[in-house]
Amino acid sequence: MEYQPKIIAREPSHHEIGAAALAEIDQLLSHYPQPQGAAIDALTVVQKYRGWVSDHALKQLAEHMSMPVADLESVATFYNLIFRREVGKTLLHPCNGLSCQLLGYKSIQRQLRKEINIDEGETSANGSMTLISLPCLGACDKAPVMLLRESTATINAAGKAVIRDKLLTHITTTELSAMLDDFQEFIHG
Ligand code: FES
């Protein structure tokens, strides 16, 4: 599962929502009679540019949308793919649905713990990877599966967009080790 990457620049400030993100949010708001209807999409836009949604960004967004901060916060905390704390550039999402549980999810978790020393919900010490298991990814016939994602779009030294979502299927612990090596090399190389 891959999609065409959208190349975007990281936000100029770590704490503020930039003009490009606000323009996208205004576009979303124009489709809804009430700002609440655009809440999840607006949070997704903030996260697309910043990687996660800080308290400051949440407050700024709520003000921009003329919404109570508490309402926006409840939307943000309900969705487990809206991050309220900083996450690694690469997101590892092993599937913990029933088929994947039966066919290797536990060994994938063990391998991740061994290779990069992270448990569920944690970010690696070098800040590069975060582990968040997800329920059924809709590929049970290929279990066990894992989704790899980039938390924000980036551009590498050669000017190539590197953001992508990739569904790894029938993943074995050996393949996982090789993949993690590749990622570490990519992130630090
Ligand atoms: S249970 Fe893992 S893809 Fe369905």
pLDDT tens digits for range 10-64: 444 455 899 999 999 999 999 999 999 999 999 999 988 888 999 999 999 999 9
Whole-structure pTM value? 0.76
Strand partners, 160: none
Q: What average pLDDT does range 101-109 have in this prediction?
A: 93
Structure tokens given for 86: 């900083």
Which residues have a Cβ under 8 Å from the Cβ of 53 and sit 6 or more positions away? 43, 46, 47, 61, 76, 82, 83, 84
Distance 126 CA to ligand 1 centre (A): 29
**Averaged pLDDT score across all residues of the chain:** 84
Q: Residue 94: pLDDT above 90?
A: yes
pLDDT tens digits for range 54-87: 999 999 999 999 999 999 999 999 988 899 988 9
State the amino acid at position 138 in one-letter form: G
Band of pLDDT at residue 136, cut at 50, 70 and 90: very high
- Residue 51: the pLDDT is 84
The finding on whether 94 has its CB within 6 A of some atom of ligand 1 is no
Distance 133 CA to ligand 1 centre (A): 11
Least confident range from 51-55, 72-76, 148-152, 170-174: namely 148-152
User: Could you identify the atom of ligand 1 that is nearest to the CA of residue 139?
Assistant: 3
CB environment 52-84: b (16+ within 10 A), e (fewer): bbbeebbebbbebbebeeeebbebbeeeeebbb
In 10 A of CB 103, how many CB atoms?
17
- Residue 7: the pLDDT is 39
Supply the DSSP symbol for 14: S
117: left (phi over 0), alpha (psi -120 to 50) or beta: left
The finding on whether 136 has its CB within 6 A of some atom of ligand 1 is yes
Tokens 């990281």 correspond to 10
Nearest CA to ligand 1 atom 1: 97
Judged by DSSP in three states, 73 sits in: helix
- Residue 185: the pLDDT is 63
Q: Residue 160: pLDDT above 70?
A: no
Q: Residue 182: pLDDT above 80?
A: no
Q: Residue 180: pLDDT above 90?
A: no
138: left (phi over 0), alpha (psi -120 to 50) or beta: left
- Residue 179: the pLDDT is 77
Which domains does the chain carry? 1-86 (1.10.10.1590), 90-188 (3.40.30.10)
Q: Residue 152: pLDDT above 70?
A: no
- Which one has a higher pLDDT value, 14 or 143? 143
Q: What is the DSSP string of 79-135?
A: STTS-SS---SEEEEEB-SHHHHHHTHHHHHHHHHHHH---TT-B-TTS-EEE--BS
- Residue 153: the pLDDT is 54
